[in-house]
């Protein structure tokens, strides 16, 4: 699952929340790799552990009650789990940045957008205020906002424009990795497409790697090179975009595709996956998907499935593939 070109390698990452009601097992031994310039889509339903994974990489898990209880997050050769808080602050400002679903959580309502972009530039480069302002204006233009709007405040922008400002801020420090958590979910559909196209264009221009968190397989198809399907804190299927879209293996991934409306499909009704994601404080024994799986057998209810490499780089965690191919 790894090569030397990887910018980010996650190994056996395990994150739990210790609450009065028990241990919430949010992330349970996941492995992921992102090469330089590559985009990985982390896909799953609400509560799958996607955002906890992102916060774990950034070392922003609220502690208590959260704790990274095991694993490694190797970024550019350094294990972030072992870094001091001071070094992590440096990484967060310089090496990676995060785009959240709601742009207002990232923007300061009392500062102009220009000041917010310039602030990041000045933290990163030792430049004068005037130079930082000039670069901030360039960044605004880059994300499709006229530079004349540099002295306006966040509330003067629409939702899509605000998210463009957030993207400008995220790119201003020229990070190697962007973690984008449902960056277009809060936007109208047409604006979503524009923001996605912009992210894709900028990613190519700057060669930035990206971890894109989403529940939307359509978004993944637009922009990702690799896909990880997450469920109950585990990665159930992992591979290239082609592996996942043309050779889908895991019953859960098949279920996700079955829930998608298709213009080409003659099938009138969608077939959503029945049931709900299990409570992470009370995960079922065996395969976490077994209560909802149409293909489960007795073994699935007692034994955790191994992570099987069905073709090079395509991993599936399901007993149907215990022998390397669908049984
Ligand atoms: Fe279904 Fe069993 Fe595979 Fe889990 S291991 S996805 S329950 S067939």
d(CA 256, CA 48): 13
Residue 322, classed as helix, strand or coil, is coil
- Give pLDDT tens digits for 5-48: 799 999 999 999 999 989 999 999 999 999 999 999 999 999 99
CA of 155 to the centre of ligand 1 (A): 48
CA of 327 to the centre of ligand 1 (A): 11
d(CA 228, CA 41): 6
pTM, to two decimals:
0.91
**Cα-based angle 192, 194, 199 (whole degrees, multiple of 5):** 95
Q: Do residues 210 and 277 make contact, with C-beta atoms less than 8 angstroms apart?
A: no
The residue whose CB lies within 8 Å of the most ligand 1 atoms, and thus the one to mutate among 310, 320, 322, is 320
- Give pLDDT tens digits for 297-323: 999 999 999 999 999 999 999 999 988
CA of 313 to the centre of ligand 1 (A): 20
Nearest CA to 201 out of 149, 164, 226, 229 is that of 164
Helix axes 85-94, 113-124, angle to 10 degrees: 120
Residue 255 structure tokens: 């279920």
Residue 66: phi, psi to the nearest 5?
-85, 155
The residue whose CB lies within 8 Å of the most ligand 1 atoms, and thus the one to mutate among 288, 295, 306, is 295
- Give pLDDT tens digits for 144-176: 999 999 999 999 999 899 999 999 999 888 899
Q: Do residues 113 and 107 make contact, with C-beta atoms less than 8 angstroms apart?
A: yes
Higher pLDDT, 318 or 272: 318
Which atom, in ligand 1's list, is nearest to the CA of 252? 6
The residue whose CB lies within 8 Å of the most ligand 1 atoms, and thus the one to mutate among 277, 319, 325, 326, is 319
d(CA 40, CA 313): 13
Ligand 1: does its nearest atom lie under 6 Å from the Cβ of 103? Answer: no
Nearest CA to 223 out of 250, 204, 247, 205 is that of 204
Of the segments 87-96, 215-224, 283-292, which one has the largest average pLDDT value?
283-292
């Amino acid at each position: 699952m790894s090569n030397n070109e990887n910018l980010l390698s996650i190994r056996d990452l395990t994150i739990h929340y210790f609450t009065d009601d028990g241990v919430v097992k949010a992330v349970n031994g996941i492995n992921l790799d992102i090469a330089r310039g590559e985009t990985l889509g982390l896909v799953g339903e609400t509560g799958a552990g996607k955002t906890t994974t992102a916060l774990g990489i950034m070392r922003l898990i609220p502690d208590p009650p959260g704790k990274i209880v095991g694993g490694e997050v190797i970024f550019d050769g350094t294990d972030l789990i072992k870094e001091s808080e001071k070094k992590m602050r440096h990484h967060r400002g310089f090496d990676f940045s995060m785009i959240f679903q709601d742009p207002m959580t990232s923007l300061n309502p009392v500062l102009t957008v220009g000041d917010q972009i310039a602030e990041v530039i000045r933290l990163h480069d030792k430049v004068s205020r005037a130079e930082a302002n000039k670069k901030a204006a360039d960044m605004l233009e880059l994300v499709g906002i006229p530079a004349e709007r540099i002295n306006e405040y966040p509330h003067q922008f629409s939702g899509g424009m605000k998210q463009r400002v957030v993207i400008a801020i995220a790119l201003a420090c020229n990070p190697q990795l962007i973690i984008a958590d449902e960056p277009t979910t809060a936007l109208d559909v047409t604006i979503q497409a524009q923001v996605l196209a912009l992210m894709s264009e900028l990613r190519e221009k700057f060669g930035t790697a990206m971890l894109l968190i989403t529940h939307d397989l359509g978004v993944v198809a637009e922009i990702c090179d690799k896909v990880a399907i997450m469920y109950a804190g585990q990665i159930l299927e992992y591979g290239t975009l082609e592996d996942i879209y043309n050779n889908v293996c895991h019953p859960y991934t098949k279920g996700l595709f079955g829930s998608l409306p298709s213009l080409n499909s003659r099938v009138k009704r969608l077939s959503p996956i029945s049931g709900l994601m299990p409570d992470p404080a009370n995960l079922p024994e065996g395969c976490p998907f077994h209560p909802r799986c149409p293909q489960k057998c007795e073994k699935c209810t007692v034994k955790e499935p191994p992570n099987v490499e069905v073709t090079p780089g395509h991993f599936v965690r399901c007993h149907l593939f215990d022998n390397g191919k669908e049984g």
